[in-house]
Amino acid sequence: MRISMDTAFAAGLFAMAVEPEVDFERKQSGAADIQKRDKETGERMWVVRCVDGDEDAQKRGQAELKVIIVAPAQPVLPDALAGTPFRPVEFEDLTVFPYVDGSRCKGGNHPQCRGRVAYSYRATGMRSPGRAAHAAPSKAA
Q: Residue 136: what pLDDT?
A: 36
Which pTM does this prediction carry? 0.81
Q: What percent of the chain has pLDDT over 90?
A: 70
For residues 51 and 64, the answer to whether their CB atoms sit within 8 Å is yes
pLDDT in tens, 73-85: 999 999 999 999 8
Q: Where are the domains of the chain?
A: 5-127
pLDDT in tens, 87-106: 999 999 999 999 888 776 76
How far, in Å, CA of 123 to CA of 24, rounded? Answer: 22
For residues 16 and 91, the answer to whether their CB atoms sit within 8 Å is no
138 pLDDT more than 70: no
Given CA atoms 70, 49, 23, 120 in this order, what sign does their dihedral have?
A: negative
Query: Counting Cβ atoms within 10 Å, is residue 3 exposed (0-12), middle (13-18) or buried (19+)?
Result: middle
Nearest CA-CA partner of 15 in 76, 97, 92: 76
Q: Residue 107: what pLDDT?
A: 63
130 pLDDT more than 90: no
Q: Please list the residues that pair with 87 across neighbouring strands.
A: 15
Q: Residue 139: what pLDDT?
A: 43
